[in-house]
Amino acid sequence: MTFPAKVFVCWGICAVVVLGALVKADPIGNHRQSSYELMSADTKAMQDDPLLNPANFAVLDGQSLWQEAAGQKKISCASCHGDATVSMKGVAASFPKLSTAGRPLLNLGGRINQCRTEHQGEVPFAPESKPLLSLSAFVATQSKGMPITVERHASNAARLDAGERFFKLRLGQLNLSCAQCHAERSGQQLAGNLIPQAHPTAYPIYRLEWQSVGSLERRLRNCLTGVRAEPYAFGSNELLELELFLAWRARGMPLESPGVRP
């Protein structure tokens, strides 16, 4: 049986329409990619070699802080958690998450500060401070190579949905959303640079642009400034919910901490 050419044309148009709808709904689909893959060979080598990776200085500082007694109770992280290479394995891969009943959503830095205030009797580290980033980097390194384990469940669903709405929300004078760059146009070029998919697989990271280690919150605030929007404060619900959605979006991808990026 032969079919008129018109039928094949109709089928072709339908296929394109359906495929286009699927791509629009999930532009990345199963083709997820760490921004590591977009880096130059030199920058990849810097991340991969502990002797070249400048973020490892933060890891070493964090290792010292892990053993340091602090606060009114004069106890260290190690006093409660022991050997971090055992007790912290997989921990960073599970954040952000809700704390105990009635507690807010916390990222890894927030959880470290919660331990600091509740168990050590000490004031919290300032956002983006060297000790907080160092301890975060040290803890995150214990999960290097392990898959991100953030999942959707009844207790975090509302927060996760809020983060997804933020991801798709147009903001700033440029009227752009996270999704327009990092989902719909990932892999394309912006100002000569390839646009990543924005999976948070390597934080805290050392950015050559910053010449220092920084958190995912710092990077998100940079993006908000880039679209000419007022950045939310460190620890705000908006940034934490967006972090939660990004971690869920990257679930199953391996952690690279401590990462290096351009």
Domains, the chain: 33-49+147-261 (1.10.760.10), 56-141 (1.10.760.10)
- Measure the CA angle with vertex 148, ends 238 and 216; round to 5°: 40
- In the prediction, which pLDDT does 30 show? 63
Average pLDDT estimate for 49-77? 96
Confidence (pTM): 0.87
Asked if the model's pLDDT at residue 7 lies above 50, the reply is no
Distance CA(132)–CA(108), nearest Å, equals 10
Average pLDDT estimate for 1-11? 41
Instruction: Describe the chain by its helix, strand, coil percentages, rounded to 5.
Output: 45, 10, 45
Among candidate residues 233, 214, 220, 162, the one with its CA nearest the CA of residue 54: 214
Asked if the model's pLDDT at residue 4 lies above 60, the reply is no
Among candidate residues 248, 251, 252, the one with its CA nearest the CA of residue 160: 248
- Cis before residue 96, ω within 30 degrees of 0? yes
Average pLDDT estimate for 151-162? 95
Min mean pLDDT across 11-20, 25-34, 37-46, 188-197 is at: 11-20
- In the prediction, which pLDDT does 203 show? 97
Write out pLDDT tens, residues 98-139. Answer: 987 556 899 999 999 999 999 999 999 999 999 999 999 999
Q: Which helix (H) or strand (E) holds 60?
A: helix 56-67
